[in-house]
Structure 1
Amino acid sequence: MNGMNRLDIKQLRVLQSLFDLKNLSQVARKMGLTQQAISEQLRKLRDLFDDRLFIRQGNSMVATPKALSLQQPIDEILKQLEVLLEPEVFTPQTYKGVFTISATDYATQALLPQLFHITRREAPDLRLIVRDFASDNINQLIAAGEL
């Protein structure tokens, strides 16, 4: 089986935590797992990389040269995964696109002039389209991304 198919993010986090804490019990506490679970992850990693990776020395775990060679790539991979999972931030000032809203006649007269004024100032490249309010299919339009 391909090594990539046997590696998961949790194992990379275990390695990263072992580099920092050098103690299986502390890694287990940090990750909310049992020491046995961390030991099992380390066993799988040892098999995957064909190296002991960490050797017990007293109460501490010391990284092997192979493990040390993995530290920087693992840190980079986990940072990239964090970036990948960061929520997209909406910035009105730089947003270029169209929002379609549905409004009643009253809302169109009472609220939209102020909304358009604010929008021009805060999001100059945002276009607003106003549709008549149609309560019979509003949920479907929202679900479809049309409103």
Structure 2
Amino acid sequence: MRSLRHFDLNLLLVFEMLMRERHVTRAAEKLHLSQPALSHALKRLREALDDPLLVRSGQGLQPTPRALALLPVVQQSLAALQAGLAPPATFAAATSTRHFTLATTDYFEEVMYPAFLSQLLRSAPGLSFSIELITPDVLNEALEQRQVDMVVGLDYQDTLPTGVIQTPWMDEELVCLVASDHAGVGEGVDLEQFVSQPHVELADISGLRPSSIDSCLVQHGLTRRVISKNLNYIAAARVVALTEAIMTLPRQMAERFVTMLPVRLVEPPKELPLLKMTLIQHGLYVNAPTSVWLYNELVAFAVKHGLKS
């Protein structure tokens, strides 16, 4: 036979059906072909394989030794193709014991993850989850190697490694936080008042969360002075409670601190952008049943909480 590149793989279906039926007319009917078309296909098969394959006899078509040897190989190959081309099975979350790993922000872990996990476990009690910090290695390697299933809640990224897919997930309002007794700030601030205050913010230990606030200020020809960069929101909020600094953070997180610390909310400048959170996964697995299920659950969670972007 010549190179497989020049072989019509559809002829394998013809061969398998002829070997099953041992009759040209019946095989043609099963394949929804005319008898002349099937006879022509058999001729092409014989030429390609340089063997008569099926020979007429009083009992119909009889296979040659070459045909008998080929049959199991062809059947296995067709079965493998059929299985590979079939739509992926759905993920049976209700009975699964699958472990998922999410790389995420402290905001998602603190504010949203407990409710998200509780919601999932009611219908899928066998599942388990791990939370990891977002690092550049997560985007460059861990997603592709499936050490991390999805990156949840990271700010929108202008550039991503090849093969990594980003989709909008949630938009969250930003709000400012100051000490309850901060006399220099009222119920809201404009841009000029905003930059006149000392600021507290989270340190970007991942290198993947450039400040959208600073980008906004630059567009207006302004900068701010940051007096403290903290690793997590609660530590930053405690600094705010004991100083005259201002902090900008997602509204849901800020509202929690109002009940925990001597701090109050301040409406931010109207020019500040929304926090745009995303879902990030690797294109290799985006259609895998587990990935489709997890993505849909996260989207449903956002819709339920009125935060879908």
Output the TM-score relative to the length of structure 1. 0.68
- The alpha-carbon distance between structure 1 residues 36 and 3, as it changes in their structure 2 partners (threshold 3 A), is farther
Q: Identify the structure with the greater strand proportion.
A: 2
Cα distance in 2 for residues equivalent to 1:126 and 1:119: 18
Are 1:84 and 2:97 an aligned pair? no
SS in structure 2 of the partner of residue 32 of structure 1: coil
- Cα offset, 1:91, TM superposition: 3.6
What aligned pairs does 1:1-147 form with structure 2 within 5 A after superposition? 2-58=2-58, 60-89=60-89, 90-92=91-93, 93=96, 94=98, 96=100, 115-118=119-122, 121-125=125-129, 131-132=169-170
- Identical residues among aligned pairs (%): 23
- The alpha-carbon distance between structure 1 residues 73 and 22, as it changes in their structure 2 partners (threshold 3 A), is same
- Cα offset, 1:50, TM superposition: 0.6
Asked which structure has the greater CA Rg, the reply is 2
Q: Tell me the amino acid that sits aligned with residue 132 of structure 1.
A: M
Cα distance in 2 for residues equivalent to 1:8 and 1:97: 44
Farther-moved stretch of structure 1 (4-13 vs 33-42): 4-13
Q: Which runs of 5+ in 1 are unaligned?
A: 99-107, 135-140
Farther-moved stretch of structure 1 (114-123 vs 15-24): 114-123
Alignment RMSD = 3.7
Match of 1:103 in 2: none
CA offsets 1:100-120 (integer angstroms, 9 cap, x no match):
xxxxxxxx9xx9686334256
- Cα offset, 1:87, TM superposition: 2.4
- The alpha-carbon distance between structure 1 residues 125 and 87, as it changes in their structure 2 partners (threshold 3 A), is farther
- The alpha-carbon distance between structure 1 residues 50 and 41, as it changes in their structure 2 partners (threshold 3 A), is same
Q: Which runs of 5+ in 2 are unaligned?
A: 103-111, 132-149, 154-168, 173-278, 287-294, 300-309
Farther-moved stretch of structure 1 (60-69 vs 3-12): 3-12
Equivalent pair of 2:2/2:48 in contact (CA under 8 Å):
no
SS in structure 1 of the partner of residue 51 of structure 2: coil
- The alpha-carbon distance between structure 1 residues 50 and 116, as it changes in their structure 2 partners (threshold 3 A), is closer
Output the TM-score relative to the length of structure 2. 0.36
- Cα offset, 1:48, TM superposition: 0.6
Farther-moved stretch of structure 1 (50-59 vs 71-80): 50-59
- The alpha-carbon distance between structure 1 residues 133 and 23, as it changes in their structure 2 partners (threshold 3 A), is farther
Cα distance in 1 for residues equivalent to 2:41 and 2:4: 15
Alignment length (residue pairs): 133
